[in-house]
Amino acid sequence: MNDELTTVNELRNLLRRFVDERDWQPFHNPKNLAMSLSIEASELMEHFQWLTPEEASQAASDPGQREAICDEIADCLAYILAIANTIDVDLSSELRRKMKKNAAKYPVESSRGRSDPPGKG
């Protein structure tokens, strides 16, 4: 299984089977899942806390740290998929829709190479 050969639907079904086998559906409501996603995102941030950008890049490349970082990324993705399964969101359609909004909000000509594109702040 890799990104080039795996569909979003396959990932959603993988997670759905995992949840169903454990009878976790009663706990998978939008509130619990959103809170869990936030917790996992915080655990991901913890790997980079207090590091310079260079040190953060090194941490992400270090085999000893990379596995733990990837575990947190996978946990975040699992909760996103669980939320999508629970409230029936088509992730591909919603990402495309949101990117169109972002493109209008952050036009290339005024946003390229800027960390403070117009429309923010």
- Quickly state the pLDDT bin for 68 (edges 50, 70, 90): very high
Q: In the prediction, which pLDDT does 1 show?
A: 80
**Alpha helix (H) residue ranges in the chain:** 8-22, 30-46, 53-61, 63-87, 91-105, 108-111
> pLDDT confidence of 119, banded at 50, 70, 90?
low
Residue 51 has pLDDT above 60, yes or no: yes
CA dist., res. 82 & res. 111, Å (int) = 33
Reply yes or no on whether the pLDDT at 56 is more than 60: yes
CATH for the stretch 8-89: 1.10.287.1080
Work out the average pLDDT over 76-97: 98
Place of tokens 């629970």: 86
Whole-number mean pLDDT of the chain?
A: 95
- Could you tell me the maximum CA-CA distance found in the chain, to the nearest angstrom? 50
**Amino acid at position 26, single letter:** P
- Compute CA 34 distance to the chain's CA centroid, rounded to the nearest angstrom: 12
Distant-in-sequence, close-in-space partners of 26: CB < 8 Å, separation ≥ 6 = none
**Domain residue ranges of the chain, discontinuous segments joined by +:** 8-89
Please give the pLDDT value at position 115.
Answer: 85
Tokens 């559906």, residue located = 25
Question: What is the Rg, in whole angstroms, of the alpha carbon atoms belonging to the chain?
Answer: 17
- Residue for token pair 């270090």: 62
